[in-house]
Structure 1
């Protein structure tokens, strides 16, 4: 058994399954997140969010798999009786994409379902699934700063089987639109978009958590959809949610009903680890409990 501080993951994602009374943790395997051939993806399972069993090798690429490195940010969703993993993949000379894997069980084994949901000539990452009020699936994803400098956030509607996009992606915002996003590079014109996650607030507002580089390192903040739809338009909150060099967050509820945030922190390799914070939602705001990051 492991505790979170023992698990070297970036980009943590937790799937809570009430039917099994278990939580499943996925993430980018930290040991070779930046270099070397990718191992694949691992999962851990827990009944209490403290003690974790694993690693469970939920995906190992077959010999003929097209991508060989930068296996990042796996997110797993239960959809029509199966489990779908959205994740980023890269190969030399081929732009980074968000692809989809599928399995009959949350612990895998996962196999390829859709090679790419993102445009073939775009450098993209961190696709996240959102199901709108009509039951239609959407993917929110990032077009990377490495291609556009001012990182962009997009939404695209998906086919019901999650195999492909419907229509063209819609630009939602650029990273520099957030006052807490700090440009890097010699001309301070490189802005990061990273790790989107959508959440319907108790007051029915649709918000998006996303991460960028801030004054004190990796930073997590919120944008709000004025229309209440994934297409936006989106307005950035004035103040970020987490500022002390941690991010790529997602929200989930415990089996007792407590809203929680998981991120990786710090954002320094090889020290990054999954962290869980209880969250208070009040008056249209989210507040981290037991946190001294601000």
Structure 2
């Protein structure tokens, strides 16, 4: 599902859990794998959705990637769940912070903060403040 966020930002975000054989990631290319033990996944700010409809656990967090599991022990992933428009305020490689997925009234909501490290909006006591904003995306399926 595609969602356009704000006419002024012209951000196109694809929110679907489609499998891609090779996923681009800030630390290099990660290949989709199966049967990954939970202690082998490096993830900051993890969040797990226990989805009753699919009887599957979905885990996401900082970085915007997604893993899924039937038993919380072995995982499959990473999947790309967000595609941003490089011509938007986010730039070519925005950081995705503390992503979460929640189900409510038959829809799935993806909450995340996006950061463009190339755009400094202020400096406070010598600390550069990067351009960032939180968005909520919606989908019919996890």
Whether the TM-score (by the shorter chain) exceeds 0.5 is yes
Q: Equivalent residue of 2:87, what SS?
A: coil
Relative to structure 1, the CA distance from residue 47 to residue 9 in structure 2 (aligned partners, 3 Å threshold; closer, same or farther) is: same
What SS does structure 2 have at the residue aligned with 1:64? coil
Matched, 1:88 2:124: no
1:183-204 CA distance string (max 9 Å, x none) = xxxxxxxxxxxxxxxxxxxxxx
Deviation at 1:5, TM superposition (A): 2.2
Unaligned runs of 5+ in 2: 1-34, 122-130
Q: Is 2:133 the counterpart of 1:97? A: yes
91, 96, 101: which one aligns with 1:76: 101
For residue 7 of structure 1, report the CA deviation from its aligned partner. Answer: 1.6
In structure 1, distance between residues paired with 2:83 and 2:120 = 22
RMSD: 1.7
Query: Does residue 50 of structure 2 align to residue 16 of structure 1?
Result: yes
Q: Distance in 2 between matches of 1:70 and 1:19?
A: 30
More strand by share: 2
Q: In the alignment, which residue of structure 2 is the partner of 1:25? A: 59
Q: Offset at 1:15?
A: 0.2
Q: Describe the SS at the equivalent of 1:2.
A: strand
- 1:53, 1:10 → 2: CA distance? 17
1:46 deviation in Å? 0.5
Stretches (4+) displaced over 2 A: 62-66, 93-97
Return the TM-score normalized by structure 1.
0.30
Q: Do structure 1's residue 48 and structure 2's residue 79 form an aligned pair?
A: no
- Deviation at residue 3 of structure 1 after TM alignment: 1.4
Deviation sequence 1:35-69 (CA, Å, 0-9, x none): xxxxxx21111011000011111112133332143
